Amino acid sequence: MEAEFVDSVTNEPLGAVVDEKVGLPVHPADYVQGFTKWGHAKMALDAWAELLREALDEVHGK
């Protein structure tokens, strides 16, 4: 996954991130989601979203 964050007014780059997820989840309950067409992709995106939320909270002192 790659993402770039830009200012909506000036289009100035604010930051970027590159990450990858490899393999299957280890929790057996997660395997069921992986059998859907987008199951593993959704789990990876959800994990990245959580990491982004935590990083933003940390930067803003929450």
4 is a domain residue: no
54 pLDDT band, cuts 50/70/90, is: very high
Q: What is the pLDDT of residue 31?
A: 61
What is the extent of the structural domain holding 57? 22-62
35 is a domain residue: yes
31 is a domain residue: yes
56 is a domain residue: yes
What is the model's pTM? 0.59
Provide the domain count of the chain: 1
- Separation CA 46–CA 21 (nearest Å): 12
* Average pLDDT rounded to a whole number, residues 25-42: 66
Q: What is the pLDDT of residue 40?
A: 73
Q: What is the DSSP-derived secondary structure letter of residue 60?
A: T
56 pLDDT band, cuts 50/70/90, is: confident
8 is a domain residue: no
